[in-house]
Chains A and B, each alone.
Chain A
Amino acid sequence: MAKLKDNALMASIRHRAEQSLAFASLVAIFIFFTFANSAFATWSNITGILLSTAVIGLLAIGTTFVIITGGIDLSIGTGVTLTSVMVAWSLNNMGMPIWVGIIVGILSGALMGLFSGLAITRLQLPPFIATLAMMLIAKGLALVISGVKPIYLESVEGYNNIALGQIIPNFPNAVLIFFASAVVASIVLNRTIIGRYTFAIGSNEEATKLSGINVDRWKILIYIIGGIYIGLAGIVLSSRLSSAQPALGQGYELEAIAAVIIGGTSLLGGKGSITGTVIGALIMAVLINGLRIMEIRQEWQTVVTGLVIIVAVYADSIRRRNAGEL
């Protein structure tokens, strides 16, 4: 018995260490930029970084669920475009109150998840294909509904406050929403039935099915969760910009998926965490911001992001090989 306890203890220590590896890199990058440029570690720059992380971060959180099941959601980028257009359309063109607009945004995201989930389970399409199709559908719908023009929301009083207001002084609400959503997602993933089945499906879908669990139904729900986060991201984005831009959002999916992967979630499914995803999103945002402050051209920032993904995933695979997981 004593030996078993030791193992459990070691496992838990190692788990912590894994988490802190990503965190340590974040801290290291942060310290590097702090010394590299005095403009970096200022409060306004830090909140700026957090604000810029919020949209990608929300997408990454939602898609962490999907990726842990062994799936993928490519529609989250143009999904943000569609949900922000939907919110803006209902507020501006339909003149609905803000709270209805918020519901419309979240519902349209959830509907996207529902359709992707149905295509994956009922039509048995691979997630890559189903969500690639959904990506195009969302992109097209956003253009149709907006009439290929930005929808401006400056006239909608108070909408701007959702992202840029400050319930906590000097701390934009968007960041608050991002952090609160992360906490909620973390609880759902680790403490609820749907979280448990998210891991179970990703770990061994067939076995989960044979255990008498209605895998299809849970998968649809998991894609809907991802969709809800698309809706949240769309609201935050349109609020921050006081408009919905029908061309903004494409490519966000890759940044979000990169954040998830840097955070240690396995594309093969069965393994991952929200904390990791948040750290992954922050690593990317801090890097981009730091490089910009150091006046490195944007083109190079993108190159660096690519390299960081390689380094992060390679480091993770080395660690797992040493831990005997591969």
Chain B
Amino acid sequence: MATAQLLSVEGVSKSFPGVQALKDVHLDLNSGEVLALVGENGAGKSTLMKVLSGIYKRDTGVIKLNNQPIEVDGPLQAQKLGIAIIHQEMNLMPHLTVAQNILIGREPRKLFGIATDDKELNRQAKILLDELHLNLDPNQLVGKLTVAKQQMVEIAKALSYDSKIIIMDEPTSALTQSETDVLFTIIGNLRKSGKGIIYISHRMEELTKISDRITVFRDGQYIDTLITKDTKIAKIISLMIGREVAQDIRPDQVKKFSDSEVALEIKGLSTKNLLKDISFQLRKGEILGFAGLMGAGRTELALAIVGKDQISAGEIIIKGKKVKINNPSDAVANGIGYLSEDRKRYGVLLNQDVKFNLVLSNLRRLISKIGFVNTAKSKGLSNDAVKNLTIRTPTINQMVKNLSGGNQQKVVIGKWLTRETDILIFDEPTRGIDVGAKDEVYKLIGELAKAGKSIIMISSELPEVLRMSDRILVMCEGRVTGILTNKEADQNLIMQYATKYR
């Protein structure tokens, strides 16, 4: 393999008011290789990417492209230099077509450059898509595509600049297994054609599959670079967080729940669009994992149970009593709490402080007779929650947006704990949370179950499901295809059930 050095970052630092985001980091990328860049949230990966794409200006250090020092003044300049970034958040225009998105800023023109030539635009886009073996219609609106296909559009867009360096920031976080496989095939082809790829991900199994070398950052500093095939996952993780963590963990003791009370029973639940005849039981103190591919209907099932989506048939039985849940407040009244996967949108108020968030769902209890909020009680309640959940925040007056993902998640959990909910539905509770904080969230969920709460945990990460769940309910295309005990379940079996109807 040709290993000409493509990009080198030497001694780059960047600080923001109050934070040193990068301290003297370095990194080098060869042509024809996939370099994984790993580190916990806040390790400085994204900052470095933004420096490379010219969104941020570095304070010190040198960036060399093909051994020539370069200055990157902005995204346009980065594109011209052949550096393309596929950002974590989708960076597409949903109201424009596939072709319009791919070639934005470089539309073929006619009539003295005023008018767009859409025929030519679609033709050029089609060629690009065909080169990548992407079966996409250039004329389709991007907003109507699945997340995976949108990702493909992003890749096509990045490559359309004839980029030599492609940086992918968590590209698989919203993809299913088969879509990830397609992506990896594409990455493999790019590597063969001599491009250099920097691949940022939290998913360790992926890195071992796809990368040649792995560079680890921690706290804004360079830690080490390892050759992937000589390295164990545990080693990478310990470098990332500075201590050892076991990967394939199962619950301490697999408990038997056949004797305990049935907290929630679903009988023959269906919705108009997706869910078909779903039945299961959840017992007191049990953690029931929901596994399945994206689009299998796990979140939809949760939303149907809490009354966000309408059910067309079926019964919801709580502690032996049939209940009617028409909206989320009915669900709360019946003791069911739903913690959304999209924490920033549905879980917390980012621009309010920790206290405000923790107290919000309890205001009724904290209001005095004449309608004022009892400040002392709110403070006490918030301080208790911060202590019990080990929320890392300087004070309860800190804005929630300044907390890390893991601590934000704890605030969400805290919100629900202060209500009397017996059944908690966690939807992707560790999405976007770094490895160390994940452990704490797991511990917290485990403790909740021990304290007698019944828990449904929706997760796309199989190791997480296997680690946490007493039983695992697998869904595929809106149906339950299997309910496994932790003992009999393994990744292969779950995937078999999850792909049953495909």
Query: Is the CB of B192 closer than 8 A to any CB of chain A?
Result: no
Query: Is the CB of A93 closer than 8 A to any CB of chain B?
Result: no
Query: Is the CB of B250 closer than 8 A to any CB of chain A?
Result: no
- Main DSSP-derived SS at the A contact region: helix
Query: Is the CB of A200 closer than 8 A to any CB of chain B?
Result: yes
A270 touching B93 by the CB < 8 A rule? yes
A200 touching B93 by the CB < 8 A rule? yes
B114 touching A200 by the CB < 8 A rule? no
A270 touching B141 by the CB < 8 A rule? no
| B30: min CB distance to chain A, Å | 26
Q: Which of A197-250 contact B (CB under 8 A)?
A: 199-200, 202-204, 206-213
Residue-wise interface mask of B (30-70) relative to A, using a CB-CB cutoff of 8 A (1 in contact, 0 not):
00000000000000000000000101000000000000000
A192 touching B115 by the CB < 8 A rule? yes
| A287: min CB distance to chain B, Å | 30
Query: Is the CB of B260 closer than 8 A to any CB of chain A?
Result: no
| B331: min CB distance to chain A, Å | 22
Tally of contacts, chain A with chain B, CB under 8 A: 80
The interface residues of chain B lying within 8 Å CB-to-CB of A211 are: 75, 91, 104-105, 157
Residue ID in chain B nearest A12 by CB atoms: B139
A192 touching B114 by the CB < 8 A rule? yes
- A213 to B157 alpha-carbon distance, docked (Å): 14
A8 touching B115 by the CB < 8 A rule? no
Which of B87, B96, B135 is packed against the most chain A CB atoms within 10 Å? B96
| A4: min CB distance to chain B, Å | 4
A8 touching B139 by the CB < 8 A rule? yes
A191 touching B115 by the CB < 8 A rule? yes
Query: Is the CB of B144 closer than 8 A to any CB of chain A?
Result: yes
Query: Is the CB of A11 closer than 8 A to any CB of chain B?
Result: yes
| A202: min CB distance to chain B, Å | 7
Given contacts A5-B137, A8-B140, A192-B116, contact A270 B75 (CB under 8 A): no
B87 touching A210 by the CB < 8 A rule? yes
Query: Is the CB of A292 closer than 8 A to any CB of chain B?
Result: no
Q: Which of B154-186 contact A (CB under 8 A)?
A: 157
B137 touching A196 by the CB < 8 A rule? no
Query: Is the CB of B428 closer than 8 A to any CB of chain A?
Result: no
Query: Is the CB of A271 closer than 8 A to any CB of chain B?
Result: yes
Tell which of A7, A191, A206 touches B140, judged by Cβ atoms closer than 8 Å. Answer: A7
- A103 to B361 alpha-carbon distance, docked (Å): 60
Query: Is the CB of B76 closer than 8 A to any CB of chain A?
Result: yes
Which residues of A does B touch, CB under 8 Å? 1, 4-5, 7-8, 11, 191-193, 195-196, 199-200, 202-204, 206-213, 270-271, 325
4 shortest interchain CB distances as A-B pairs: A212-B76, A203-B93, A270-B95, A207-B91
Give me 5 A-to-B residue pairs in the complex whose CB atoms sit less than 8 angstroms apart, sorted by A's number.
A8-B139, A8-B140, A11-B144, A204-B93, A210-B85
